[in-house]
């Protein structure tokens, strides 16, 4: 099968959608399919062979953060050329209502079109305003996928119709087999808590974790806070107490290998995000590596940690934006090695259902449905 995949966000900047598109393309190629990815990219020298750049991206405020997008007549021409040369059996557009290459591909493509919706934003005024304009193009979509129930509700609320829920995928083995790194491995005297995310993006919740860690240090003065992700370190330190700033180690942007080692090494992984999350792939990655997870009780995070409503959790939850409650959970787990081990094992087991060997085959089933004669 010849599959053309469109990513709206700059491919040389880390992000959940970009990782999803990358892993899906590489799974398809390994399975013997043809896959080509079209995405904005600034660095054209270090791109994978399957990626075609549609030009440089510009930063735009979108969905509570700054996204690097690409739009305009030059991009449209590149989209048209990619579609013509690709001769795809199916075109798979991610975030088709984002003002980037995806919309342009949706306008230009013909034949079977699959769209994946990643965003969870039930109050999106932009989506409400855009729907009347985009409606004729959206009706061209023959298969809709949402990465979570929250993303599906966003689709049904703003765009009408429905979507099948297929979660984000994770290369579980890469995390499960990661080696512990002495730099990030905690000890009883100096336990470690890890955080990964854009440090200057408020919805990622570093300010909540920083406030909680001030309490943690009062009880465990040797504790270390390992912070990975892009953003201004100086500004982040200024928003911390002197104690938390002194206990924090900023790792910057780290490679996939180091991310897996960080998760395998840390005593706890904290996910204090305050909103705007439709899935929570970083939780799955941490769980796959065996890290006990402490997460805010966002609905998307609850669904990752819990197989069914009321079922056993594969991690700890705390009330969203409640720094005191987060501190209590962290301190309780840092003092209970047996419970950390139990959560780590539960997380590993839960993470397996999100492996690409499961997720990609579900996506391929959608491709086969829409390419069947009479499906469009």
Q: What are the Cα distances from residue 62, in Å, to 132, 156, 310?
A: 19, 20, 34
Residue 350 has pLDDT above 80, yes or no: yes
Residue 287 has pLDDT above 60, yes or no: yes
| % the chain with pLDDT above 70 | 91
pLDDT interval class at 137 (50, 70, 90): confident
Here the tokens at position 1 are: 């099968």
What sign has the CA pseudo-torsion 228, 230, 231, 232?
A: positive
Three-state SS annotation for 253-291? CCCHHHHHHHHHHCCEEEECCCCCCCCCHHHHHHHHCCC
Report the chain's terminal Cα–Cα distance, integer Å.
17
Average pLDDT value over all residues in the chain: 91
pLDDT of residue 307: 84
The more confidently predicted of residues 23 and 159 is 23
DSSP three-state, residue 45: coil
Residue 55's contacts (CB-CB under 8 Å, 6 or more residues apart) are 40, 70, 74, 75, 78
pLDDT of residue 59: 58
Of 21-30, 59-68, 139-148, 355-364, the range with the lowest mean pLDDT is 59-68
| The CA-based dihedral angle spanning residues 208, 311, 166, 63, taken in that order and rounded to the nearest 10 degrees | -20
Specify which residues 294 forms β-bridges with.
270, 316
**Average pLDDT rounded to a whole number, residues 232-252:** 97
**Average pLDDT rounded to a whole number, residues 101-128:** 82
Give the angle subtended at the CA of 41 by the CAs of 32 and 53, to the nearest 5°.
55
pLDDT interval class at 74 (50, 70, 90): confident
| % the chain with pLDDT above 90 | 73
pLDDT interval class at 69 (50, 70, 90): low
pLDDT of residue 124: 57
Q: Are 65 and 201 in contact (CB under 8 A)?
A: yes
pLDDT of residue 60: 58
Of 2-16, 63-77, 172-186, 191-205, the range with the lowest mean pLDDT is 63-77
Residue 22's contacts (CB-CB under 8 Å, 6 or more residues apart) are 11, 37, 48
pLDDT of residue 15: 81
DSSP three-state, residue 203: helix
Which 8-state DSSP code applies to residue 100? T
**Average pLDDT rounded to a whole number, residues 129-154:** 84
Here the tokens at position 164 are: 């099948």
Residue 68 has pLDDT above 50, yes or no: no
pLDDT of residue 206: 98
pLDDT of residue 119: 84
H or E stretch covering 143: strand 143-146
State which fold the 2-169+355-371 domain adopts: Rossmann fold (3.40.50)
**Average pLDDT rounded to a whole number, residues 306-333:** 95
| The CA-based dihedral angle spanning residues 291, 357, 278, 153, taken in that order and rounded to the nearest 10 degrees | -140
pLDDT of residue 133: 67
- Where do we find the tokens 């909540």? 208
Domain boundaries, the chain: 2-169+355-371, 172-352
Rounded to whole angstroms, the Cα distance separating 68 from 325 reads: 35
Q: What's the CATH architecture for 172-352? A: 3-Layer(aba) Sandwich (3.40)
The more confidently predicted of residues 123 and 367 is 367
Q: What are the Cα distances from residue 95, in Å, to 138, 145, 146?
A: 11, 10, 10
pLDDT tens figures, 82-108: 999 999 999 999 999 887 888 899 999
């Amino acid at each position: 099968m010849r599959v053309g995949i469109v990513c709206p966000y700059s491919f040389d900047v880390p992000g959940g959608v970009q990782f999803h598109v990358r892993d899906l393309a590489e799974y398809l190629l390994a399975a013997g399919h043809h896959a080509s990815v079209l995405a904005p990219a600034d660095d054209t020298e270090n791109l994978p062979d399957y990626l075609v750049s549609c030009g440089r991206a510009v930063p735009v405020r979108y969905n509570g953060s700054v996204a690097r997008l690409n739009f305009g007549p030059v991009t449209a021409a590149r989209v048209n050329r990619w579609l013509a040369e690709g001769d795809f059996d199916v075109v798979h557009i991610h975030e088709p209502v984002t003002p980037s290459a995806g919309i342009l591909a949706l306008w230009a493509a013909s034949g079977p079109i699959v769209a994946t919706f990643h965003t969870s934003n039930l109050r999106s005024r932009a989506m409400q305003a855009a729907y009347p304009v985009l409606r004729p193009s959206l009706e061209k979509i023959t298969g809709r996928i949402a990465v979570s129930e929250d993303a599906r509700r966003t689709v049904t609320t703003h765009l009408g119709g429905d979507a099948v829920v297929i979660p984000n995928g994770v290369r579980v083995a890469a995390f499960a087999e990661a080696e512990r790194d002495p730099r990030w491995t905690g000890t009883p005297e100096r336990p470690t808590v890890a955080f990964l995310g854009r440090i200057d993006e408020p919805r990622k919740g570093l300010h909540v974790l920083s406030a909680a860690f001030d309490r943690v240090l009062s009880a465990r003065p040797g504790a270390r806070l390992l912070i990975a992700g892009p953003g201004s370190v100086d500004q982040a330190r200024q928003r911390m107490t002197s104690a938390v700033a002194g206990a924090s180690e900023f790792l910057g942007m780290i490679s996939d290998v180091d991310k897996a080692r960080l998760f395998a090494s840390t005593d706890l992984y904290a996910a204090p995000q305050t909103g705007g999350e439709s899935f929570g792939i970083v939780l799955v990655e941490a769980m796959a590596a065996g890290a006990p997870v402490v997460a805010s009780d966002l609905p998307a995070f609850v669904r990752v940690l819990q197989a069914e409503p009321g079922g056993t959790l594969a991690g700890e939850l705390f009330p969203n934006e409640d720094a005191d409650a987060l501190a209590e959970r962290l301190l309780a787990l840092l003092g209970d090695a047996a419970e950390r081990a139990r959560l780590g094992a539960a997380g590993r087991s839960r993470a397996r259902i999100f492996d690409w060997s499961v997720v990609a085959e579900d996506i391929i089933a959608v491709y086969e449905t829409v390419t069947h004669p009479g499906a469009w």
